[in-house]
Amino acid sequence: MLAPGDTLRLAPGDYVQGLPIHRLNGRPGAPIRIEAKDRAARPRFLGRRGHNTVSIVDASYIEIAGLELDGRGLAVDGVKAESNSRFAHDITLDDLLIKGHGADQQVIGISTKSPAWKWVIRNTVILEAGTGMYLGESDGSAPFVAGLIEGNLIRDTRGYNLQIKHQLERPALPGMPAQPSTTIIRHNVFSKQKNGSREALARPNLLVGHFPKSGAGSEDIYLIYANFLYENPTEALFQGEGNIALYSNVFVNMSGSAVHIQPHNGRPESVDVFGNTVVARDRGILIVGGNPDRSQRAFGNAIFADAPLEAPHASSNVIGNLQEAAQRLRSPFASPGALELAPLHDSAVKTKAWPSVPGRYVDAAKDFEGNPRVPGIAGAYSSRAPIWSLPLDRKPR
């Protein structure tokens, strides 16, 4: 019975029949909002066999905030845009706590299996899930378009913390963006320090797939910035293909590699990797197999790894082996909470002027902390006094 502009406030307590968002549609400026009456006493939705807890079908302009989703170890997803849904767009998930979804790697905290666009997923915590977020269908037939994923903590998943699947031809649906659009991933913490699968089931913390190879969506881009990616003993922290701008992030992996941009279901297209700080045991930044008719650049990064950098076009980077990190950064080998990767002094990461970047790169003139960038300083920090000492918690904005 909810109508555009309505707000449903849920009292504290346990809810055992799930939250079906089926054929509910708000309007621009008048969304349907479902929220906790008291954020200090979250309504708790308990998993039940055979039903995804928050089930979305043919819905739009919906906001869900302040809930706890406890899967109770069952083989059900926390939030799912169901595969039988024709669309799910303008959906906002804010300040959710998702736990108890780790029975199997195929159990997912937040999943979209229908065409989905203009989703906002923010300020949400996902703990020890099989997969944290899996956005899109495995065969590329359910695109996730023009999303904003910010301020989340995803920790100790078996598989991906977050994967956005590759995309086949863009369907012509009413309201589906046809002009070039952007999916932004920013201010998140992705950690696979514990619990990750190994061998054939091993997965990166974050993976993004390619956009349609021609037509609508082919010029879409991922802007991935100001995230903290921590530890993965079996895979790289980040893997991507397609159109990517990866900047002002912090990567720490004392068990393996940091950034692999390489063919997966497609190949790298237009790629810019700049202003990141990388501390990794194995590879730092690897860019291979890209479209030779497009540019793949790495510049202005501070990289400390046993194999620091391989890229078609590299300039103005500061590189060294893993041990050199201690000579240039504040506390690169400390545990989370004491970990600090700001430079010991400006000359430790001084470099030449960087190439210019496109104007569509949001916040590219800011560092990891949101401070204005200082020309000629490589890495994620322009200041020697970071305000956040990299705990495994949500990043303040």
- The string of pLDDT tens digits covering residues 213-269 is 999 999 999 999 999 999 999 999 999 999 999 999 999 999 999 999 999 999 999
Determine, yes or no, domain membership for 1: no
Determine, yes or no, domain membership for 55: yes
Read off the pLDDT of each residue in 200-208 and give the average, rounded to a whole number. Answer: 98
Looking at residue 387, its pLDDT comes to 85
pLDDT at 397 over 80: no
Q: Residue 214: what are its φ and ψ, rounded to 5°?
A: -155, 165
Determine, yes or no, domain membership for 97: yes
Give the chain's largest Cα–Cα span: 63
Read off the pLDDT of each residue in 93-98 and give the average, rounded to a whole number. Answer: 98
Strand order in the sheet with 162-164: 19-22, 54-57, 79-81, 108-112, 131-135, 162-164, 206-208, 238-240, 259-261, 283-287, 307-310
pLDDT category at 346 given cuts 50, 70, 90 is: confident
Looking at residue 273, its pLDDT comes to 98
Determine, yes or no, domain membership for 319: yes
Determine, yes or no, domain membership for 393: no
Looking at residue 207, its pLDDT comes to 98
Which helix (H) or strand (E) covers residue 327, if one does?
Answer: helix 325-328
pLDDT category at 396 given cuts 50, 70, 90 is: confident
DSSP states along 256-286: S--EEE--SSS-EEEEEEES-EEEESSEEEE
3-state DSSP assignment of residue 143: coil
Q: How many domains does the chain have?
A: 1
Read off the pLDDT of each residue in 316-329 and give the average, rounded to a whole number. Answer: 97
Give the residue, 395 or 294, on which the prediction is more confident: 294
Determine, yes or no, domain membership for 2: no
Determine, yes or no, domain membership for 384: no
Looking at residue 131, its pLDDT comes to 98
pLDDT category at 22 given cuts 50, 70, 90 is: very high
pLDDT at 48 over 90: yes
Mean pLDDT of the chain: 97
Encode pLDDT of 347-362 as tens digits.
999 999 999 999 999 9
pLDDT at 335 over 80: yes
Determine, yes or no, domain membership for 338: yes
Give the residue, 386 or 379, on which the prediction is more confident: 379
Q: Name the token pair of 117.
A: 């666009």
pLDDT category at 384 given cuts 50, 70, 90 is: confident
The CATH number given to whatever domain includes residue 239 is 2.160.20
Looking at residue 298, its pLDDT comes to 98
Read off the pLDDT of each residue in 5-33 and give the average, rounded to a whole number. Answer: 98
* Beta strands 329-331 and 340-343, pairing class: antiparallel
Domain range enclosing 39: 11-349
Looking at residue 386, its pLDDT comes to 83
